[in-house]
Amino acid sequence: MTNPVVECREIETGIVQVTLQDREQKNTFTEGLVRGLIEAFEEIAANERCKAVILTGYGNYFCSGGTMEGLLAIHEGRGRFTDANVFALALECKVPVIAAMQGHAIGGGFVVGLFADFVILSRESVYTTSFMRFGFTPGMGATYIVPKKLGFSLGEEMLMSANNYRGADLEKRGVPFPVVPREDVMNRALQLARQLAEKPRVSLITLKDHLVRPIREELPRVIEQEMAMHEKTFHKPEVKDRIISLFGN
């Protein structure tokens, strides 16, 4: 696949790595990044050799969530977060996906990683569900997947407070994911991918389908509820002011 900001390549037999590498925009959901992500998972779906996917970023950034332009478009009623349905790509992927979140994961960028089957965090990086910092309620399935993956108490705290948490902080809070030094994240992901690639592809697909079916079935209802909350919260003048101010800083 040829896309300047998303690289998709088979790094070993049966293992595909998707790398988000928009250095100019720090892996925010630009049109190019969104299109590249969708194309990457379409390519994976057509690859009958693929048994495991590693989703990662570059340097200090995994994925930084929405752009100012994208958020303002939603505020003004010119778009919805469902227009670019990238948040559930890992969930809908037939084979297991490992989110190697070696760098900062912000807002929807963190949510994208949590929809993977396996999550690996970096001790140095910042993880945040920053939606409420802008004054609007969370979307992209965050209200479901964050408490489900992190536990209700910590998930509620992250969603409500919109605070920043280092991977080391989350490790102390007992998150059920490996939290390792940034330099070790990819090695850990590759070890896991190799273990998965040893298994028969049909068995991996069948087991994943069974395990994540409740999430796939529940998610559309959650998205409807989040959209309804956005109608109440996203179009307030204060939200526009917060978006402009926070991106300006």
What are the residues whose beta carbons fall under 8 Å from the beta carbon of 119, sequence distance 6 or more?
A: 98, 99, 101, 113, 149, 177
pTM: 0.96
Judge whether residue 147 has pLDDT over 90: yes
Tell me the per-residue pLDDT of 81-90, one tens digit each, with 9 for 90 and over: 888 789 999 9
Two tokens, residue 117 = 């089957």
The residue count for the chain: 249
Which pLDDT band, with edges at 50, 70 and 90, does 122 fall under?
very high
Query: What's the whole-number mean pLDDT along residues 146-165?
Result: 98
Mean pLDDT taken over the chain: 96
> Between 74 and 3, where is the model more confident?
74
Q: What's the confidence (pLDDT) of residue 35?
A: 95
Please tell me the number of Cα atoms within 13 Å of 224 on its side-chain side. 5
Q: What's the confidence (pLDDT) of residue 248?
A: 86
DSSP conformation class of 8: E
Say which of 75, 104, 230, 235 is annotated catalytic. 230
Q: What's the confidence (pLDDT) of residue 85?
A: 82
- Told to judge if 230 belongs to the known catalytic residues of this protein, a careful annotator would answer yes
**Among the residues of the chain, which ranges form H helices?**
31-46, 68-75, 89-92, 108-114, 142-150, 152-161, 167-172, 182-197, 201-233, 237-248
CB 16 within 8 A of CB 53: yes
Tell me the per-residue pLDDT of 23-50, one tens digit each, with 9 for 90 and over: 999 999 999 999 999 999 999 999 999 9
Query: What's the whole-number mean pLDDT along residues 61-76?
Result: 95
Which pLDDT band, with edges at 50, 70 and 90, does 1 fall under?
low
Q: What's the confidence (pLDDT) of residue 161?
A: 98
Judge whether residue 160 has pLDDT over 70: yes
Judge whether residue 111 has pLDDT over 90: yes
Judge whether residue 2 has pLDDT over 70: no
- The CATH code of domain 6-182 reads 3.90.226.10
Judge whether residue 123 has pLDDT over 80: yes
Q: Over pLDDT 90: what percentage of the chain?
A: 95
Which pLDDT band, with edges at 50, 70 and 90, does 174 fall under?
very high
CB 10 within 8 A of CB 50: yes
Which pLDDT band, with edges at 50, 70 and 90, does 3 fall under?
confident
Tell me the per-residue pLDDT of 218-244, one tens digit each, with 9 for 90 and over: 999 999 999 999 999 999 999 999 999
Structural domain boundaries in the chain = 6-182
